[in-house]
Structure 1
Amino acid sequence: MVMNKINLFITEANGNLSNKRTLILNAIKKAEEYTFPKLKIDWDIDIVITNRVYEFVIPEDGVGGRSYASDFILISINEDKITENILAETLVHELCHAARWGKNDEWMNTLFDGMISEGIATYFESEFVKDKAEKQLFLKTVVERSNEENEKVYEELKGQFKNEGYDYQTIFFNGNDKLPRWSGYSLGYLIVKKYLEKSGKTIEEAFADKYADIEAAL
């Protein structure tokens, strides 16, 4: 199904997800109307929505997303938990990744690169929901993490910023006895927030900035 620049594919063989079609279409519309003008996306993006891939779904939010390229996003949902607003929020996050890759083709090589990439998408997501009552647990946890907690995360990770062989799953998702869940997102969000304050840019102006330029400005 084509919706302006989004080519939507819902995995609904044998009626799978058919009962969520209206919810999905409404969420896509909200995300597209918010993201495309702000980030000046002028190319087509394929989005696959399924309930068949569970490994990156956040249990509390009922959704998870992965952007594989500037024009391909995979979203997996738990149809018993997903809401229209939460799905739209996730789509905004992933569309920001796609937009950045469409305008800045540098690879995420180091932990610092990964944190900035996720920090940009998370900050953009936070702007989308800032006046909304319903937000993902993921986002609330990242944005509301205390300065003390963030300082502990920074002290634990600062020596790894230039590493290319870092433990992505632990740092960005699961955490461990020294790192809380979503630590990489929290630190990335904080770095991006400080960069925007220092540069005077909005997230729409800064989302495609080079990793080296962000690092140099801190």
Structure 2
Amino acid sequence: MLDLRVHFLEADGSLAPWRDQILSVVRETAERIRSRVPGLEAAPVDVIIERRPGEVIPELGLTGSCYRRALISLTLDPENDNFETSLAGGDLLRTLTHELHHSFRYATCGYGVRLGEALVTEGLADAFDDEVNGGDGRLWGHAIADGEWERVLERAERELWAETYDHAGWFYGDDRALPRWAGHTIGYHLVKTYLAANPDARPSQMTATPASVVIGEAWAPLRARLLAAA
């Protein structure tokens, strides 16, 4: 069983009505990862759970972050109209699964400081969620319209290994020239392309795989496939 140490921060609002349900989700997440990904070992991880109105993904009423190997934050907004549905429908479980892959990767090669590294790290975390919980990505993994792919991929290719990049612009939509969640979508499809070409590969076993390996093998075929379909 993964050692997930939960801490409720409630100075900004009580989470008492949902505490038992949240703790059940944390336990289920740890069990799913343990049972479906045998041999995956991890040191203890602190999981902060806090209530911050308006500081979430609006479509879900919650969000997550991983700041370093041993620290994950889950932010909830019970006042959001979508919160109850998301909590009951498994979105908190899937968010925690995603963030745990970041934790595992922080323990090996790290999140990364360049766009290409962030694309692979985020794509692997979403593919790990698929591996553990099923499905075909989440809404941010399918956020680029067919007619936008060429422009977005060309810009990403120019910036892949630059010394600095606009993380908020690529991953949250702060750059109006980019579709919201463009980085998440590219990363997810990039990793899926790599996995399709390597049937024995699993995101759970790729926590230390360098971004250059995934990009080196998957970027060209992904670009060719998407542009051919546009």
Q: Bin the TM-score by the shorter chain.
A: 0.7 to 0.9
Q: 1:22 aligns to what?
A: 20
Q: State how far apart, in whole Å, the 2-side matches of 1:4 and 1:205 are.
A: 16
Q: State how far apart, in whole Å, the 2-side matches of 1:143 and 1:207 are.
A: 23
**Could you tell me whether the CA contact under 8 Å between 1:175 and 1:182 is conserved in 2?**
no
Identity of aligned residues (%): 26
1:125 aligns with 2:123: no
Q: 2:192 aligns to what?
A: 193
Q: 2:33 aligns to what?
A: 35
Q: State how far apart, in whole Å, the 2-side matches of 1:124 and 1:4 are.
A: 16
Cα drift, residue 98 of structure 1:
0.6
1:105 aligns with 2:109: yes
- 4+ residue stretches of structure 1 with deviation over 4 A? 144-148
**Could you tell me whether the CA contact under 8 Å between 1:65 and 1:75 is conserved in 2?**
yes
**Could you tell me whether the CA contact under 8 Å between 2:64 and 2:74 is conserved in 1?**
yes
Q: 1:7 aligns to what?
A: 5
Cα deviation code 1:104-161 (max 9, x no counterpart): 13451211001111110011223444359xx8xxx22424755544343212321111
Matches within 5 A, 1:156-175: 156-175=155-174
**Could you tell me whether the CA contact under 8 Å between 2:109 and 2:210 is conserved in 1?**
no
In structure 1, the gaps of 5 or more residues are: none
TM-score, with length taken from structure 2: 0.80
RMSD: 2.6
**Residue 14 of structure 2 aligns to which amino acid in structure 1?**
N
Q: State how far apart, in whole Å, the 1-side matches of 2:47 and 2:172 are.
A: 23
**Could you tell me whether the CA contact under 8 Å between 1:119 and 1:190 is conserved in 2?**
yes
Q: 2:57 aligns to what?
A: 58
Cα deviation code 1:12-69 (max 9, x no counterpart): 35971111101211211221112245271331110000013754x1111111111011
**Residue 156 of structure 1 aligns to which amino acid in structure 2?**
R
Q: State how far apart, in whole Å, the 2-side matches of 1:4 and 1:157 are.
A: 36
Q: State how far apart, in whole Å, the 2-side matches of 1:106 and 1:207 are.
A: 9
Give secondary structure in 2 for the equivalent of 1:61: coil
Change (3 A) 1:122 1:148: farther
Give secondary structure in 1 for the equivalent of 2:162: coil
TM-score, with length taken from structure 1: 0.84
Q: 2:221 aligns to what?
A: none
**Could you tell me whether the CA contact under 8 Å between 1:156 and 1:178 is conserved in 2?**
no
Give secondary structure in 2 for the equivalent of 1:189: helix
Q: State how far apart, in whole Å, the 1-side matches of 2:175 and 2:12 are.
A: 40
Q: State how far apart, in whole Å, the 2-side matches of 1:164 and 1:46 are.
A: 31
Give secondary structure in 2 for the equivalent of 1:67: strand
